Amino acid sequence: MAEQSSNTVWHHATVTRQRRESQNGHKAVVVWFTGLSGAGKSTLAHAVEEQLHQQGCRTVVLDGDNVRHGLCGDLGFSETDRSENLRRIGETSKLLVEAGVITLTAFISPTQADRQRVRSLMPHGNFLEIYCDCSVAVCESRDVKGLYAKARAGEITNFTGISAPYEPPKGANLTLHTGEESLQQSVSRVIELLQQRGIIPAKNSVTHSG
């Protein structure tokens, strides 16, 4: 038995990201949507995901729904906790990208510093920052979750756009005017960006090579 165990070789990872991407027929990347509450980040992420899935891509969406109650369930909304929340989302996105999955994230992520920090976690070119540019007025008129009303009433403090600042990205990879463009227009622009970057094939279907 000792003889057998001494034969055991230390196994490094042999299944690499490159092999996974080859199997999938597309590359992996983080598509990071940033913008005010109500700017349409989550809607857009899910709509882009639907189109990518139909084209044969491996995708996932991270947003408040699947992160705030799980991975980051121990965190609140202080500045420190919001920062740690985004750090963990960034690290998890990195693992998903390593697994070959196009990872679409939908978080307000209001500060340049936090977004830059997440970008710096990733290999160069693996973080696409998409600014969902939409005025407070339009976001507030939508107020899908009733959060703006609560923020105006003082029931929520540190609410981005009302009582806390939002720092628009400097040098986003794409800016979408989500208060003006139609959803389909925005989706098409994201898909085009992914094609231009060589993340997904330029044509409308993915060949399975794996």
Residues at the site binding a second copy, with contacts judged by CB under 8 A: 1-2, 4-15, 19-20, 23-24, 40, 42-44, 46-47, 49-50, 53, 56, 58-62, 66-67, 70-71, 73-74, 84, 88, 91-92, 94-96, 98-101, 121, 134, 138, 141-142, 144, 179-183, 208, 210
Of 37, 93, 109, 186, the active-site residue reads 109
Positive or negative, the CA dihedral 197, 19, 46, 53 is positive
Expressed in angstroms, the distance from the first to the final Cα of the chain is: 38
Q: Identify whether 83 is a catalytic site residue.
A: no
- Nearest to a second copy of 101, 162 (CB atom): 101
Q: How far is the CB of 157 from a second copy (least distance, A)?
A: 25
Contact 92, 21 (CB under 8 A): no
The residue type of 24 is: N
Q: How far is the CB of 122 from a second copy (least distance, A)?
A: 11
Using alpha carbons only, give the angle 55, 181, 163 rounded to the nearest 5 degrees.
110
**CA 97 to CA 30: how far, in whole Å?**
7
- Nearest to a second copy of 121, 193 (CB atom): 121
- Nearest to a second copy of 142, 189 (CB atom): 142
Q: How far is the CB of 67 from a second copy (least distance, A)?
A: 8
Residue 11 DSSP symbol: P
Q: How far is the CB of 96 from a second copy (least distance, A)?
A: 6
- Nearest to a second copy of 50, 154 (CB atom): 50
What are the residues whose beta carbons fall under 8 Å from the beta carbon of 206, sequence distance 6 or more? Answer: 24, 25, 26, 55, 56, 57, 200
Catalytic residues: 109
